Amino acid sequence: MTHLNRRHLIITGLAAAMPLPALAHSRRSAEDWVIPEEFLPRPVRFAEPQEPGTLIVDPDYFALYHVLTARRGMQYSVGVGRGDLYESGWFTLGAKKEWPSWTPTKDMIARDPDQYAQYAGGMPGGPNNPLGARALYLFDDVGNDTFLRIHGTPEPWTIGSAVSNGCVRLANEDIVALYEAVEIGVPVLLLPKLQSA
């Protein structure tokens, strides 16, 4: 597998050279929220060849890159895990689900029981589910579910910020497009954070 770091990701075309700015998140209705133009998907070019199909997340730029050919891909704006909840490394896309159900982990419930204990038995899929319209499940190198997800969100105003419990989130329309474009078994690289969150 190709070793990749930020020096290998040279972005051209519509992509910005600086990290996307976090937005002031005043609106709280996904139906009314309009994604800012700078957060829309855009074509990118890689300085060095990458493995087609690979998903690469750069948490400092709040960006997910889907490698389409060795030198070209698509960039999606994302939200990432806050603080030390973000986990970097190589993973494999082990499963995909439409309108997935969600159950908070024991660690999430322990960190914030007032918010998560009520969902200990799970929450069915739907427009208010934290995993949004689609979810991609990340597995480790021996095939175990890591409980890390790349998923949609009913809170699109959180894109471009580090607020999640460790997962990577996209606007629902973007995760639907990505879900259709990726296949189970592709590699996923979550780059380490270089900037303090």
Q: What is the pLDDT of residues 110-163, one digit of tens each?
A: 999 999 999 999 899 999 999 999 999 999 999 999 999 999 999 999 999 999
Catalytic residues: 151, 167
As a whole number of angstroms, the distance between CA 103 and CA 113 comes to 13
pLDDT at 33: 75
As a whole number of angstroms, the distance between CA 106 and CA 127 comes to 24
Where does 14-173 show beta strands of DSSP type E?
42-45, 55-58, 63-67, 72-77, 80-81, 89-98, 134-139, 145-151, 162-164, 168-169
Residue 27 has pLDDT above 90, yes or no: no
Residue 3 has pLDDT above 50, yes or no: no
Give this prediction's pTM: 0.83
pLDDT at 6: 54
Please tell me the total number of residues recorded for the chain in this structure: 197
Domains plus CATH for the chain?
A: 6-15+38-190 (2.40.440.10)
pLDDT at 196: 58
Query: What are φ and ψ of residue 162, in 5° steps?
Result: -105, 90
Which residue is listed with tokens 């095939």?
Answer: 143
The answer to whether the beta carbons of residues 167 and 151 sit under 8 Å apart is yes
